[in-house]
């Protein structure tokens, strides 16, 4: 049965993962105070910014001081500094470039990719922070893992191998799902990293392939890059028999994974100090734990180029209650991205509503769609939607049904641009991310 496994050995670092919150907070405070000193001494960006705000490390003696005096930073501020100074690391770098091991980057869906400077020994930082999550999923020494489709933020193999897993080198990118199914049957891996386009392709294979049998060796599979829709998640779990673990970005400081409880994304708070706030023209304030706010993150384990009070634009609900798994680190639930809301002639349209309308049509059940807009407030809702040509007899008829379904959900009649799923997925510029809101 999916997810039905021994839980006796579920913590990789039990003392850290189940640390009482009071201890965790004390640890964070120590880390933050060290970080502030370190960043001020070594980062041109922070020194300049904090000087402008009258924030000096000597005045930061507690978490409360940190939150009261250290200003937020945004992606635009980083880009502006880079543009003004010509420094590719935007003044964030705290060590000479020669001391770096590697430089990875963001997906660059909203502009040039942002650099992430990395210093590491056995495994790159991103996948190292996933080791606990992979252990929770059930990965153990000797298990086999299919190689992930991309290099993401550096090769991920070293993280799997740190746990003693053997990586099977198979091209798992788009267009290769028959080979992936063959590899699953041949090598019986315990874990597979999946991305959205792969799932769309697998969905097409499902009719003629026994995917439940093919996936039966998996202890779990992960999925990242964008949230799974309810329908897709049910399909993967109930029809294909996969215990699927979604994960998401921890505001570019690492990742946050679901545990076996599948109730929110765990942040590893010994690596990130997370705040959930609402920012407006008057300032900012914490949002109650039951409410949605913006995730603001501070790197606690990054000596190369730490992000400090970084506004992620991710809208989340954050809880510090102990999870059913026993872990004490905070969990978050992602509600969307600030800026993804589109206002059509004064009417608010959110992605979730469009998504449900698209998923409700059998030919577009995979949910491949984009909102096309050059600004947030527009006169018409332009939607680009991908359909499965094998299931679509009459594209015009589908467009008619879809148009009505979107109008019912959002109150706005869309202007539709129908493409095949394959055509639309080919426009991806990242292994992980299929952009839902595009300019052209």
Partner 1 sequence: MARADTLARARTLDRPELAYLLRFPTADGMRDLELTWAELARDTEWVTARLREHGLAAGQRALLTASGFEGFWGHAVIGALRALKVPYGIAEAMGWDHRRTAVFHRELTPHAVIGLSAETLGGLAGAADIGEMFRSTPLVLARPAAVPLLRGVGVTAFVISAVGPALALECPERSGAHVNAAEWRFGERDGQLTVAAGEGRTSPLPETPLGITGRVVVGRCGCGSDNPRVLLAEAN
The distance of closest approach from Cβ of residue 171 to partner 1 in the complex, given in angstroms and rounded to an integer, is 5
Taking CB under 8 A as the rule, does residue 225 contact partner 1?
no
Instruction: For residues 103 and 119, give the distance between their C-alpha atoms in angstroms, rounded to a whole number.
Output: 9
| Residue 248 interacts with partner 1 (CB under 8 A): yes or no | no
Give bridge partners of residue 333 from the DSSP assignment. Answer: 317
- Provide the token pair at 190: 């315990």
Report the SS3 class of residue 220: strand
* Among the listed residues 103, 205, 395, 437, the single contact to partner 1 using CB under 8 A: 103
Stretch that binds partner 1, among 119-127, 289-297, 377-385, 416-424 (CB under 8 A): 119-127
Contact residue for partner 1 among 144, 309, 382, 384 (CB under 8 A): 144
Residue 310 sits in the site that holds partner 1 (CB under 8 A): no
State the nearest-atom distance from the C-beta of 291 to partner 1, in Å.
Answer: 29
* Contact status: 290 vs partner 1 (CB under 8 A): no
Q: Does 259 bind partner 1 (CB under 8 A)?
A: no
Residue 301 touches partner 1, criterion: CB under 8 A: yes
What DSSP assignment string belongs to 249-298? ESTTSSEEEE-TT-SSEEP-TTTEEEEEEEEETTEEEEPPTTSEEEEEEE
Q: Whole-angstrom Cα distance, residue 344 to residue 410?
A: 10
- The contact pattern for partner 1, residues 180-199, with x = CB under 8 A and - = no contact, is ---x---x------------
Distance CA 406, CA 357 (A): 5
Verify binding: residue 141, partner 1, rule CB under 8 A.
yes
**Taking every pair of C-alpha atoms in the chain, what is the biggest distance, in angstroms?**
69
| Number of shown-chain residues binding partner 1 (CB under 8 A) | 63
Judge whether 330 and 365 are in contact, CB under 8 Å.
no
| Residue 104 in the binding site for partner 1 (CB under 8 A) | yes
* Total residue length of the chain: 440
User: How far is residue 287 from each of residues 263, 284, 320, 361, measured CA to CA in Å?
Assistant: 20, 9, 13, 37
* Listed residue (336, 332, 292) closest to 314, CA to CA: 336
What is the contact surface with partner 1 in residues (CB under 8 A)? Answer: 12-13, 16, 88, 97-98, 100-105, 108, 112-113, 115, 120-123, 125, 128-129, 131-132, 141-142, 144, 147-152, 154-158, 161-164, 166-173, 183, 187, 268, 270-271, 300-301, 426, 428-431
């Amino acid at each position: 049965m999916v997810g039905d496994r021994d839980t006796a050995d579920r913590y990789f670092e039990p003392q850290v993962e189940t640390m009482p919150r009071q201890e965790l907070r004390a640890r964070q405070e120590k880390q933050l105070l060290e970080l502030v000193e370190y960043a001020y001494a070594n980062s041109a960006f922070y020194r300049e910014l904090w000087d402008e705000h009258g924030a000096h490390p000597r005045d930061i003696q507690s978490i409360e001081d940190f939150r009261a005096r250290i200003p937020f930073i945004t992606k635009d501020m980083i880009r502006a500094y880079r543009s003004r100074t010509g420094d590719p690391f935007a003044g964030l770098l705290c060590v000479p470039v020669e001391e770096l091991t590697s430089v990875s980057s963001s997906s660059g869906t909203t502009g040039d990719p942002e650099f992430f400077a990395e210093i590491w020994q056995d495994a790159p930082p991103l996948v190292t922070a996933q080791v606990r999550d992979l252990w929770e999923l059930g990965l153990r020494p000797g298990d086999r893992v299919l190689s992930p489709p991309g290099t993401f933020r550096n090769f991920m193999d070293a993280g799997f191998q740190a746990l003693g897993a053997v990586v099977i080198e198979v091209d798992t990118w788009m267009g290769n799902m028959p080979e992936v199914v063959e590899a699953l049957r041949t090598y019986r891996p315990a874990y597979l990293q999946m991305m959205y386009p792969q799932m769309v392709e697998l969905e097409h294979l499902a009719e003629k392939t026994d995917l439940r049998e093919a996936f039966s060796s998996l202890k779990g599979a992960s999925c990242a890059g964008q949230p799974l829709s309810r329908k897709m998640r049910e399909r993967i779990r109930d029809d294909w028999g996969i215990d699927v673990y979604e994960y998401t970005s921890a505001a570019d400081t690492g990742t946050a994974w679901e545990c076996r409880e599948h109730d929110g994304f765990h942040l590893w708070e010994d690596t990130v100090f997370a705040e959930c706030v609402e920012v407006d023209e008057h300032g900012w304030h914490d949002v109650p734990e039951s409410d949605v706010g913006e995730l603001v993150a501070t790197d606690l384990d990054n000596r190369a180029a730490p992000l400090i009070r970084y506004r992620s634009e991710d809208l989340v609900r954050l809880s510090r209650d102990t999870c059913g798994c026993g872990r004490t680190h905070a969990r978050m639930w992602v509600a969307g991205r600030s800026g993804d809301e589109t206002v059509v002639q004064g009417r608010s349209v959110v992605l979730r509503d469009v998504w449900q309308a698209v998923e409700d049509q059998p030919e577009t059940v995979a949910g491949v769609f984009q909102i096309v807009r050059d600004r947030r407030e527009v006169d018409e809702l332009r939607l680009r939607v991908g359909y499965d040509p094998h299931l679509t007899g009459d594209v015009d008829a589908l467009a008619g049904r879809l148009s009505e379904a979107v109008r019912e959900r959002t109150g706005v009649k869309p202007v539709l641009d129908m493409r095949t799923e394959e055509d639309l997925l080919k426009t991806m510029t990242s292994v992980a991310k299929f952009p839902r809101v595009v300019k052209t």
